[in-house]
Structure 1
Amino acid sequence: MDCWKQDRRNTWIFPTLVLCLYGFFYMMKPSEPFLIPYLTGPDKNLTTEEVTNEIFPVWTYSYLALLFPVFLITDYMRYKPILLLQGISFIITYLLLLFAHGVLAMQLVEFFYGLATATEVAYYAYIYSVVSTDHYQRVTSYCRSITLVAATVAALLGQLLVSLADVSYFHLHVITLTSVSLAFVCSFALPMPQKSMFFHRKDVSEPLPAPEKAAPPLGSDRPSSYQEDKGSPPADRAPTPEQQADNAKPRNQVLRVLVQLSKDLRDCYSSRKLLYWSLWWALATAGFNQVLNYIQVLWDFRAPSHSSAVYNGAVEAIATFLSAVTSFIVQYMKINWDLFGELALGIFSALDAGSLLLMHFSTNIWASYAGYLIFKACYMLLITIATFQIAVNLSMERYALMFGFNNFVALVIQTIITVAVVDSKGLKLDIVTQFLIYGSYFAVIAGIFLIRSICILVSSKCKIKITRSCKEHLNHADSESKEQIVTGYMTRL
């Protein structure tokens, strides 16, 4: 019996190990920092305008269209099938990048990459369905750390291969294809979860019916005609109400989950603190993703890859390392986030705005590199703080739901920016002007939260003064007037 219990306690080790291997290989993409030089070079012969205005926007649109349905399907299918789908999507993406040509083919690449991005929710949610809650913190740390390590190693490897070994961008994509194929193979070894956060929950059951009308539990795999300790009903008997309810269960289950999700969202955003942190999350993530999507275009404009040395891989490696460091130091920051949190959002958003405006006004490629390092480090610092501030007040189900919804809102905002600024059907601005827009966008975010923080600090100072004044009056008041004094000051607060 003791051995059996020990095995049960250790069941988290194997899926965590396999998921970390999967995360390492699917993030091990040394070709990513060199995508623009590859597309605009002799391999694909596309123009910068085609890549910027016609190809890259497809990723944003497909990601937006697929995110919500994939979120629901991921939970319903219990994660593993979606991880397999992600592996297939990555393989198709890099096969097309290697062997297909033309704008339409590259738009198809962006569609499959959008599908792969939308399915990332399965990677981060899978582990919570196969390990106990006492291992959540450890496995989350492992899974997130391994992806940062893989991204850093991939960027550094790509830079070394390009700069020192003169490896072509085509062969970098071959290495990436091999890596994502290994990730796909690893996903087969993952055990199939028996529960999920919404559709297949083990900890929540529906109200039980009367004993004489007992029905199988939600998510049961038994046939609807099964009745314990009783034989099957005669073939000529009409379906019972219980059987009809079971037949309608999948449909009712989806409706029940959607109703529960909407109720949970309303409850989450009823907290003003969570609402403002989520507002920053959505606004900043939209801008961050947009910059991440088009930064290589700006670099290629400042220092064309056909005539200049390309250091994109080294810059990405340093940026990822700095992101890991800033995320790590958050745990040592002893700050009253309720009081100074929005001030931090405003200050670091202002730094983000300044770094983007530096990229716009400076024609030096090294200034663009430096601006990008500052921008990414500041964002990662703030998103880590926002993640902690939101997660600390939520259950695991609401944690996943709120983060997913925040990202969905961010994607809607990013789509609006893409349509207005980048798309050939919108303003179709050149890449330098785009970064002026992005810098101004973050300046507006900084302004919103700096004004909010000033209001919070002034309000807090006023409350302190009123509280002190109340205490002084109470010290000099008789017992009969104390109640009136407290009532008066409470009204002022």
Structure 2
Amino acid sequence: MSLFYPTFLLCVYGFFSNLRPSEPFHTAYLMGPDKNLTETQVVNEIYPVWTYSYLVLLLPIFLATDYLCYKPVLVLQASSLVMTYAMLWKGESMLAMQFLEFFYGLATASEVAYYAYIYSVVAPEHYQSVTGYCRSVTLFGSAAGSLTGQLLLSFAKVDLIHLLYITLGSVSFAFIVPWFLPMPKRSLFFNQTPAATKDEPSRTGTSNRMEEYSESKVPLQSHDYSTISVSGEGGGTRPGLVGVLRMLFDDLVESYKNRTLLAWSLWWALATCGYFQILNYVQPLWENVRPSQDYNIYNGYVEMLSTLLSALAALLVGCLPVSWAMWGELVLCVLSLLMALYVFIMDMVRDIWICYAAYVLFRATYMLLITLATYQIVASLNMKRYALVFGVNTFIALVVQSMLTFVVVDSVCLGLPVFSQFFIYGVYFTVISIIFLLAGVYKVACRRRSKQEVPGVEGESLQIGDAPCR
């Protein structure tokens, strides 16, 4: 019962918090008769607020999540979602819509609480099964919401405002659920015993960790699991903020000394930045290609299909017969170039069906790679360092995204139209591909050169055929 109860509540929360029939039609709603905002207002003045808010709130929320032991921040996320859609319903001015984006940024930053909570209330041997349940039901909720919205729009001919009512009702129900969750009794960084802050032993076990978009194996040491407490039971103490920050910095430096981890983290940060930009501005692109005021739109079907195909792509990672240690960078190069091609297609081919198809393939490719990157990053990390590296990679992605948004999107700077933006995003992914092409070629060359050498005495190396000194 102790395992079933929190798992069931988390699954209920994950399903209803992601059941948002209005989400695929957000831009159409803002630019339609209900809000009557212009494309420039929506794209260049409202949507950038989400990026800036997410960046500013990520680090404080990350620390608060651990300090408060997850549940309060989970409640904060639920209340932020309710506030977001309530303001979308009642707000009229552009300023109200900008505040809406701030609350949505708060909800997005608080997602870390949902992913981390389960590991604080169940034993490590149940991580894999519980992660599978929560991840599956979250994806199913998102896909069901998109499908519901599209079916109601296409066949029942409902107005977009009615989809918003259903979304608001769904997230309002989700808001009730976290209050009934048990309060965790441990966390990763704060509330540790002195033993938990010492040097950690090598990895002793593996478990599955639920990441926002994919499933991946994550090791969690039983040592960490057993020595972290809230009240200091058994001699536990509550380390101060400075001590925790110092510990996090030391762990971060130690983690990034691994060159493989550093390379995959670099791709993670750069690609996630571009992925966020595509997801944030693809609806305005579709609105330009096929205006919702003049034609039937099928955004809901596309979002549902892309969600399900992305989940399938994530599952396929373990089946790919590739030596990632040898060819990982070149695979990142090829698939990043493929993602750039999809973005260029969305930008240059003004056919809505081709745009839809390119978007679905873009998301599936990203999900395959981000799942692979997750696995590579956590291969030698414990749970604590994985949470830290994941947070820092996301933070770097948001820093780059904020700069890109400010220069390209924000009306304060260039304020480019959406088609010009997508051309730049295509170039951006092309640059990522070139970076990893150079890294891959260098790595392969180094491997081949090392195979032609024989280790000699005292660290020297000789060419094959030379007589070694004795």
TM-score over 0.5 for the pair: yes
Given that 1:205 and 1:218 are in contact with CA atoms closer than 8 Å, whether structure 2 keeps it comes out as no
Partner residue of 2:231 out of 191, 212, 220: 220
Q: How does 1:51-450 map to 2 (within 5 A)?
A: 51-201=42-192, 204-205=195-196, 219-220=230-231, 253-450=240-437
1:420–1:427 CA contact under 8 A, matched in 2: yes
Q: CA deviation at 1:334?
A: 3.0
Instruction: Give the conservation status (yes or no) of the 8 Å contact 2:340–2:430.
Output: yes
TM-score by length of 1: 0.85
Aligned mates of 2:436, 2:78 — CA distance in 1 = 40
Q: Tell me whether 1:488 sits opposite 2:462 in the alignment.
A: yes
Moved more, 404-413 or 328-337: 328-337
Matches for 1:28-47 after TM superposition, within 5 Å: 28-47=19-38
String of CA shifts for 1:396-425, please: whole Å, max 9, x gaps: 011111101100100000000000000011
What number of residue pairs does the alignment pair up?
435
Q: Tell me how far apart the structure 2 counterparts of residues 348 and 335 of structure 1 sit (CA, whole Å).
A: 14
Shift of 1:202: 6.0
1:406 and 1:221 map into 2 onto residues whose CA distance is 31
- Measure the CA separation in 1 of the matches of 2:230 and 2:155: 56
CA distance in 1, matches of 2:356, 2:164: 23
Shift of 1:161: 0.7
User: In the alignment, is the contact (CA less than 8 A) between 1:23 and 1:143 conserved in 2?
Assistant: yes
User: Which piece of structure 1 moves more, 135-144 or 33-42?
Assistant: 135-144
Structure 1 residue runs of 5 or longer lacking an equivalent are: 1-9, 208-216, 223-227, 229-245, 471-481
- Provide closer, same or farther for how the CA distance between residues 28 and 203 of structure 1 changes in structure 2, counting only shifts above 3 A: farther
Q: Distance in 2 between matches of 1:388 and 1:370?
A: 27
Say whether the 8 Å CA contact 2:191–2:232 is kept in structure 1. Answer: no
* In 2, Cα distance between equivalents of 1:366 and 1:218: 54
Q: In the alignment, is the contact (CA less than 8 A) between 2:264 and 2:373 conserved in 1?
A: yes
Partner of 1:22: 13
CA distance in 2, matches of 1:206, 1:466: 43
Deviation for aligned residue 1:254: 1.4
Shift of 1:24: 0.7
Opposite residue 124 of structure 2, the aligned amino acid is T
Shift of 1:201: 3.4
- Residue 487 and residue 186 in structure 1: after superposition, are their counterparts in 2 closer, same or farther (change >3 A)? same
SS in 2 for 1:11: coil
Q: 1:466 to 1:95 in 2, by over 3 A?
A: same
Q: State the identity %.
A: 49
Asked if residue 13 in structure 1 is aligned to residue 4 in structure 2, the reply is yes
The residue aligned with 1:243 is none
* Alignment CA distance shift 1:346-1:14 (3 Å): same
Q: Is the 8 A contact 2:77 2:111 kept in 1?
A: yes
Q: What is the alpha-carbon distance in structure 2 between the residues aligned to residue 294 and residue 311 of structure 1?
A: 16
- AA matched with 1:143: C
1:465/1:221 CA distance change after superposition, 3 Å: closer
Instruction: Determine the C-alpha separation between the residues in 2 that align with 1:221 and 1:330.
Output: 41
Q: Which amino acid aligns with 1:133?
A: P
Contact residue 206 and residue 218 of structure 1 kept, 8 A: no
- Partner Cα separation in structure 2 for residue 344 and residue 487 of structure 1: 31
Q: For the pair shown, which has the larger CA radius of gyration, 1 or 2?
A: 1
CA–CA distance in structure 2, aligned partners of residues 205 and 143 of structure 1: 28
For 1:155 and 1:487, locate their aligned partners in 2 and report how far apart those are by CA, in whole Å. 61
The whole-number CA distance in structure 1 between the counterparts of 2:80 and 2:321 is 43
- Find the aligned partners of 1:315 and 1:488 in 2 and give their Cα distance: 58
Structure 2: runs of 5 or more not aligned? 199-227
Contact 1:129–1:195 (CA under 8 A) maintained in structure 2: yes
Judging by fraction of residues, say which structure has more helix: 1
Amino acid at match of 1:369: Y
